[in-house]
Chain A
Amino acid sequence: DIQMTQSPSTLSASVGDRVTITCRASQGISTWLAWYQQKPGKAPNILIYKSSSLESGVPSRFSGSGSGTEFTLTISSLQPDDSATYYCQHYSSSYPAFGQGTKVEIK
């Protein structure tokens, strides 16, 4: 099975900062990767699919890139509402898997 590894596990940044989260797959997954945001007590919310496609209604400060085994989620200008845990997820097989999550805190 394909394993997903995110880094860092936590990060703390200031409002307006550019933030980057990395996700690595244990084998090539083309661009079959999605990113989610989850806030405490709430369901996850899709941000990005197919590595770089922005889901409708998601702010344009979120962007994704990558292919094969290395991917990034970038928040171009961090906002207070972006405090959350972010997950990557591959869907290159019938056995999708999530990364372990990255908690983003606002300084």
Chain B
Amino acid sequence: EVELMESGGALVQPGGSLRLSCGASGFTMTSHAMSWVRLAPGKGLQWVSALRGNGQTTSYADSVKGRFTIYRDDSNNTLYLEMTSLKVEDTAVYYCARGPPLWTSVAYFDSWGQGTLVTVSA
């Protein structure tokens, strides 16, 4: 069974940093593109960042480019999102999401974690 489990969400001050983790079981991340998607209070879903199956090719939404870094540790099948220079508008539930099998580039998302809450506030 495919499972994704996020952790690392917290209350952080503006300008601060945080690292989110997403542990996977039931599949190997090297065979899938993985993304982070967020849901801000009162807003809709927003794609944040993606890492292709090759583990090298990344993409970012303009709103986080230069501040967030996505990467993967294949030894423990875990995806990370390093967030720096956090802003109030980064407050959201952050989900990790898996792309479908045989698609190593960014596609739709066939499995999601339960989400982890990041609150940026003074």
The CB with the most chain B CB atoms within 10 A, among A36, A55, A96, A98, is that of: A96
B27 beta carbon closer than 8 Å to chain A: no
In the complex, how many residues of chain B place their beta carbon closer than 8 angstroms to a beta carbon of chain A?
Answer: 24
A-B contact count (CB 8 A): 63
Contact across chains for A101 and B45 when beta carbons are under 8 A apart: yes
- By DSSP majority rule, is chain B's interface helix, strand, loop, or mixed? loop
Q: Return chain B residues, CB-CB under 8 Å to A49.
A: 100, 107-108, 110
The 8 Å CB contact of A91, one of B44, B107, B114, is: B107
B71 beta carbon closer than 8 Å to chain A: no
B113 beta carbon closer than 8 Å to chain A: yes
The interface size bin for chain A is: 20 to 34
Contact across chains for A44 and B45 when beta carbons are under 8 A apart: yes
In the bound complex, CA of A45 to CA of B47 (Å): 15
Contact across chains for B106 and A43 when beta carbons are under 8 A apart: no
- By DSSP majority rule, is chain A's interface helix, strand, loop, or mixed? loop
Contact across chains for B61 and A95 when beta carbons are under 8 A apart: yes
In the bound complex, CA of A34 to CA of B39 (Å): 17
Q: Shortest Cβ distance from A42 into chain B, in angstroms?
A: 8
The 8 Å CB contact of B106, one of A38, A55, A96, is: A96
Q: Residues of B at under 8 Å CB distance from A? A: 35, 37, 39, 44-47, 50, 57, 59, 61-62, 95, 100, 105-110, 112-115
